[in-house]
Amino acid sequence: MSNRAIHIDDASGRPEDDARLLTPARGDERALPWVDELWTAVRAGDEFSAVDVVDEALDSGLGPETLLLDVIGAVQRKVGIEWAANRMSVADEHAATAINDRVIASLPTRRPTTPRGRVTVACVDQEWHALPARLVAETLRLRGWRVEYLGAQVPTAHLIGHLHRTGPDAVCLSSSLPTRLPHAHSAITAVQAVGTPVMVGGLAFGADGRYARLLGADAWAPDARAAADRLAAGPLLQPPPAHQAIDDLPHLADQEYTMVAKSSTRLVRDTFHRLEERLPVMRDHTDEQRERTAEDLAHIVHFLTAALYVDASEIFTDFLTWTAEVLAARGVPAQCLLPGLELLAEQLRDFPRARRLIDAGRNALATSLDPRHAGRTP
């Protein structure tokens, strides 16, 4: 395994061309110079200059929504890409995200004279990527909605208690990491059980919203503008009657997800110890390297369990190939992932779905390392 941990944070995509990243989502070319200026301030860690850029952009006539989504949103996407490409440290990425959050807070707000309705915006339990949800909340406010923004990592029970007190017209749930999909599913079904429709968004639900539909959400939006447009179009569908997770996901009846999830700590521990036995070089690693290797293994197991939950191999394979790219940017050979996958497969030999997912992951890695291996199972 690698000697550098995979930091699963706002960097949630593959490195792309910078010009494409900085192109406004709806083609407002007026945003481009302000993106460059805000990026310069954010990269320098200069919060005051970042706020000045926002004020100047507004004074120049740039619309608040364009500023929010096509300037601040574009800069945040670039932050993630720069981290993945190893051009920003974890600390730098966190500092940049904090500045963007502060810049959003500096935007002027006004009370709508006739609110469209009331919406609660929250991240699902254990989802700490709050900025995408924040962009949705602020866009809805700009469009005239009364919004309760609950932020990151909202436990489902607390969310339901809040809904009982406030009675919103809809709930918008955000999740960036597929590993949170089981929590998202619990939140969706719990919110619907109290009679409130749910719209979801974020990278966790797939680029086309396939996991939103699979988990029974009433609506899905690919971005903040689409979320606001959908809510403006009329009420969401009424939630279905109360039901259990297995009603949406009958494959859970095989208990593989439950058993692998419950044994995840043991799987990581045993795989780590077997790696040490198989790869003597690991015995010379520092404590920090050993800790990071264990973290890498934990991420692999967590994405494997998420893939088991929704029965989707692409969740696991996409994570592994993205991880290989991140490691390569840090000078760590992606081949180091293969021994860990082999050892996991040995331990999960009695779990056919898990074995198929691991085989798919190994094949995806082999293909990314050498396209001539496409279609083969390592």
Are residues 357 and 307 in contact, defined by beta-carbon separation less than 8 angstroms?
A: yes
Whether the predicted pLDDT of 9 surpasses 60: no
Domain boundary among 182, 213, 248: 248
User: What average pLDDT does the structure give for the chain?
Assistant: 87
Q: Does residue 10 form part of some domain?
A: no
pLDDT tens sequence across 85-95: 889 999 999 99
153: alpha, beta or left? (left if phi > 0; alpha if psi -120 to 50): left
Same-domain status, 139 and 97: no
Q: Does residue 212 form part of some domain?
A: yes
Domain boundary among 106, 131, 159: 106
Same-domain status, 244 and 134: yes
**More confidently predicted of 4 and 187:** 187
Are residues 75 and 42 in contact, defined by beta-carbon separation less than 8 angstroms?
A: yes
Same-domain status, 94 and 188: no
Which range of 229-238, 284-293, 308-317 scores highest in mean pLDDT? It is 308-317
**How much is the pLDDT for 8?**
53
Q: Does residue 288 form part of some domain?
A: yes
Domain boundary among 230, 248, 266: 248
**How much is the pLDDT for 371?**
57
Same-domain status, 261 and 367: yes
Banded pLDDT at 3 (limits 50, 70, 90): very low
Q: Once rounded to an integer, what is the mean pLDDT over residues 148-155?
A: 96
Contacts with 129 (C-beta within 8 Å, 6 or more apart), sequence order: 9, 10, 12, 123, 152, 174, 175, 176, 177, 202
Are residues 145 and 112 in contact, defined by beta-carbon separation less than 8 angstroms?
A: yes
Banded pLDDT at 285 (limits 50, 70, 90): confident
pLDDT tens sequence across 183-197: 999 999 999 999 999
Q: Once rounded to an integer, what is the mean pLDDT over residues 236-258?
A: 82
> Looking at residue 295, which CATH number applies to its domain?
1.10.490
CA distance 194 to 167: 10
**How much is the pLDDT for 40?**
96
Same-domain status, 225 and 296: no
**How much is the pLDDT for 293?**
83
Same-domain status, 163 and 220: yes
Contacts with 85 (C-beta within 8 Å, 6 or more apart), sequence order: 15, 329
Q: Does residue 12 form part of some domain?
A: no
**More confidently predicted of 1 and 222:** 222
Same-domain status, 243 and 124: yes
**How much is the pLDDT for 22?**
37
Whether the predicted pLDDT of 10 surpasses 70: no
Same-domain status, 263 and 146: no
Same-domain status, 100 and 155: no
Domain that holds residue 286: 251-373
Q: Does residue 80 form part of some domain?
A: yes
Whether the predicted pLDDT of 25 surpasses 60: no
Whether the predicted pLDDT of 333 surpasses 70: yes
Banded pLDDT at 292 (limits 50, 70, 90): confident
CA distance 341 to 37: 44
> Looking at residue 141, which CATH number applies to its domain?
3.40.50.280
* DSSP labels, 110-139: ---SS---EEEEEEPTT----HHHHHHHHH
DSSP 97: H
Q: Once rounded to an integer, what is the mean pLDDT over residues 121-147?
A: 95
Domain count along the chain: 3
Looking at 9-23, 44-58, 154-168, 199-213, which range is the least confident one?
9-23
**More confidently predicted of 14 and 129:** 129
**More confidently predicted of 331 and 45:** 45
Whether the predicted pLDDT of 245 surpasses 80: no
Same-domain status, 238 and 258: no
Same-domain status, 94 and 126: no
Banded pLDDT at 342 (limits 50, 70, 90): very high
> Looking at residue 56, which CATH number applies to its domain?
1.10.1240.10
Same-domain status, 270 and 334: yes
**How much is the pLDDT for 11?**
40
Q: Does residue 277 form part of some domain?
A: yes
Q: Does residue 92 form part of some domain?
A: yes
* % of the chain surpassing 70 pLDDT: 89
Helices (H), the chain: 18-21, 32-43, 47-59, 64-66, 73-84, 90-106, 131-142, 156-166, 181-193, 210-214, 224-232, 245-248, 256-262, 264-278, 287-310, 313-329, 337-347, 352-369
Q: Does residue 3 form part of some domain?
A: no
* % of the chain surpassing 90 pLDDT: 69
pLDDT tens sequence across 158-168: 999 999 999 99
